[in-house]
Amino acid sequence: MHVVVSAGGTQEPIDPVRIITNRSSGKQGYAIAEAARDRGARVTLVTAPTALTDPDLIEVVKVGSARDMLASIESTLRAGADALVMAAAVADWEPASAARQKVKKVDGQDRTTLELTKTPDILATVRELPGVKVGFAAETEDLLGNAKEKLSRKGLDLIVANDVSATDAGFNVDNNRVVILDRDGAQDELPLMSKRDVADRILDRVRRIVDARH
Ligand code: C5P
């Protein structure tokens, strides 16, 4: 099996020294990549910058922005992959145009605006390419409602919903509490567990879908 995993929070450049990003640590995505490797899969980890060390025996592709991530994932899927697990926190917006030079302060100016445009939706863009597609829904309200809507809008096989308002799970910690939803409407509500154990539960489900298609 060839599994493609994305991780980290994308960085959208404002100018040569400034970015828009988010609080994703990359831990859940790296845990999925490592779990897939340990099951014998070939793994491509497409990662936005994180503080984590590169895992052994995994092809690591380092990207910055949502657009870079899309280009890398699209070409990897076109070359043939069995599954894509999008654990990355992809920015929804990017600066309409990144300044070529560092933006300067202006004396007397105490307010400014930054025009943003929508980033491409990576999952929606690759939905017709082969492979099982798994998305994440990090939500602070109406977790299951939002997750179901994303599952169908993005044409996913599975979505992993997590409540990022909890302090013991989700962003930047080693544990996660998730619900895995599938196309048939089944909801697998998992207790608090390590991100590695969450990774294994997701990969169990991916394996079942891949096997059913062969
Ligand atoms: O729409 P939302 O960002 O909440 O959806 C989350 C899921 O979609 C995650 O799996 C994320 O990696 C993916 N995503 C994407 N392209 C975007 C934004 C999010 O593939 N531009």
| Cβ(123) – ligand 1 distance below 6 Å | yes
Work out the end-to-end distance of the chain between its first and last CA atoms, rounded to an integer number of angstroms. Answer: 12
- Give pLDDT, residue 164: 85
Helix 195-213, helix 27-38: angle, nearest 10: 50
Active site residue 172: no
How far, in Å, is the centroid of ligand 1 from the Cα of 173?
Answer: 20
| Cβ(171) – ligand 1 distance below 6 Å | no
| Cβ(119) – ligand 1 distance below 6 Å | yes
- Give pLDDT, residue 21: 98
Q: Indicate the pairing of strand 158-163 with strand 42-47.
A: unpaired
How far, in Å, is the centroid of ligand 1 from the Cα of 120?
Answer: 9
Mean pLDDT by 10 residues, the chain (214 residues): 98 98 96 98 98 98 98 97 98 96 94 97 96 96 96 97 84 90 97 97 98 90
- Give pLDDT, residue 168: 82
38 contacts 17 by C-beta, under 8 angstroms: no
Q: Name the residue at shortest CA distance from atom 4 of ligand 1.
A: 137
- Give pLDDT, residue 97: 95
Report the predicted TM-score, pTM, of the whole model to 2 decimal places: 0.96
Q: Which residues pair with 194 in a beta bridge?
A: 175
Helical residues (DSSP H) of the chain, grouped into ranges: 27-38, 66-78, 122-125, 143-153, 195-213
| Cβ(46) – ligand 1 distance below 6 Å | no
- Give pLDDT, residue 166: 80
Q: Report the atom number in ligand 1 closest to the C-alpha of 66.
A: 21
| Cβ(32) – ligand 1 distance below 6 Å | no
